[in-house]
Structure formats: C-alpha cells, structure tokens
Structure 1
C-alpha cells in the first residue's frame, strides 16, 4: 500500500493547524482591542477548527493503521507518524519526516500563541477587577464593636455613599 492517503491526511491536518494558528493571531489582536463580540466569533471559529482537527486526527490514525498493517506491523491503538517512518521505504520516510516536522513546528507556534493569548486575557481580567474594586466603596474596618454589641450595617451602601 502506498502512503499517498497518509500524506494527503497529514497535509490536511497541517492546513487545519495552520488555519487555527492564523485564527489565534487574529484572536490576539481582538483581545488587545477588547472587542467582545468579535472575540465571541473568533472563539466559535476556534471550536469549529478543533472539531475538524479531531476528525482529521482520527482519519490520520486510521490511515497510519492501514499503512502499518500493509507493512505487516502489529498496530497499537493509536499509531504515530514515527512508527510509520520506522517502517516506511526511504522515499516515504523523507516525506513522512517532512510532514512530521511541519506539524510539530506549527503546533509549537500555536502553543506559544495560545499562552500569549491566555496571559493577555488574564491581564485584562486583572485590570477589570482593579477598576471594579476602585469603584466599589470599602466597608469600614473597625476593630472594636459598639458598646451594646450591635454591628454597623454596611450591606446597604452603594457607590454613591462613598467618599470622593
């Protein structure tokens, strides 16, 4: 059996990862702008990409299994590209190694971009929390109680009750 089906599947998998990476670059810009409706759209697109990647990964595993079985190799539950490289012919090894390197590189870039986006979202949340705590009045922090044991009620204070 030729590895052409496996090559085609690896190429599609790479294109999906590349498209997801491009989407994550766009997501970085959207986070910086603070456009929540656009961020929601980008997140929905990411979910679609992830579903397609999962489907294509299942296809890659099937094609890898067929490829290894055609070579007389016992197949485990999730064959890897490295296993296919080990049992391929010299020209197939070169092509499989090429696709493996491309996939590893794009996945590393995607991981780095996702870490950046996560940090940006975290900083944005910290900024929002800081602004909210500055806007809300702080209850009096007294270390004593009233002579008759009653505590002063601060639950009904609003933002307009605070001092400027």
Structure 2
C-alpha cells in the first residue's frame, strides 16, 4: 500500500475545504444583504460539502489504516503523524505540507464561521428589538379597572363574631 491514496485524499479534503471557505465568504455577503432565499440555497450547498468532506475524511482514515496495516503498525491510531514515521523524506515533506495547508483552511473556515455566527446573532437581536417595538403594551398593569375585584360572598377573611 502506497502513500499516494493518502495524499490524494488530503488534496481532495483541501480542495473541498477551500470550496467550503468560498461558500462561507458568500454567506457573509448574503447575511449582510439579508437575502434569505439565497441563504437557504447556500445552506443546501453547505450540507452537500459537509457530506463530501465527511466521506473523504472516512476514505482518508481507511487509507491511513490500510497503510499502517501493510507496514506492520496496525495498532497505531490512524493519523498522518503515524504515516510520516514510515515514509521517506519526500513523502514526509509532502504529507506535512498538505497537513499544514489543510489545518490552515480549517482555521480560516472556523474564523469565517465565527463571523457569520455573530452576524446571525446580531440579526436576531435586531429582529427581537423590532418585534418588541410593534407589540402592544399594557400601561396599567397594577392599577385601574382592569384589575378584577373578588366577588363578595357571605364569608370574609376576618370573622368579626369571634
């Protein structure tokens, strides 16, 4: 088992994450423009990307496990670090470079998602403030005719005959 399948899956993961980052950038613009229909369509694309990333990552894990098994290290965790210990210098450099690039893309995506989350939270706050302005308010909560008086019956709280 060669390292090429691991390298291919890492390259595919990087490509998917870059595409996902472009979607996140588009999402920021759509959130600022308040285009809910386009955001809905974008969310569908994001789910497709997430599914593809998940499948590619599973493929990477299988490739790493197969590589480790083929090299007599079946008990090790399926990580890039475990693979680099068993590869030559050229393959190790390539794997480390791809790993660094993937980590950078994931960090960029995380940063962009944090920004988008803040934009969504601020939009929700604005909506809540706007709704509060339109809701009718009772000005006399404790005074006035709106307070019902208890019906008088023959029994009182204070027994004057006692």
- TM-score exceeds 0.5: yes
The reply on whether 1:51 has 2:54 as its aligned counterpart is no
Shift of 1:38: 0.1
Structure-2 residue corresponding to 1:143: 142
Residue range with higher mean Cα deviation, 140-149 or 126-135: 140-149
* 1:131-162 Cα deviation digits (max 9, x unpaired): 01001111235335747249xxxxxxxxxxxx
Equivalent residue number for residue 160 of structure 1: none
2:111 aligned with 1:112: yes
Unaligned runs of 5+ in 2: 152-162
Q: Which has the larger radius of gyration?
A: 2
Partner of 2:101: 102
- Equivalent residue runs for 1:1-164 within 5 Å: 1-76=1-76, 79-144=78-143, 146=147, 148-149=149-150
Aligned-pair RMSD on alpha carbons? 1.7
TM-score normalised according to structure 2 size: 0.85
Kept in 2, the 8 Å contact 1:65–1:75? The answer is: no
Give distance in 1, aligned partners of 2:138 and 2:14.
56
TM-score normalised over the length of structure 1:
0.84
May I ask how many residue pairs the two structures share in their alignment?
149
Structure 2: how far apart are the matches of 1:81 and 1:125? 41
CA distance in 2, matches of 1:28, 1:85: 38
Looking at structure 2, the residues matched to 51 and 25 of structure 1 have their Cα atoms a distance apart, in angstroms, of 19
Name the SS for the 1:63 alignment partner: helix
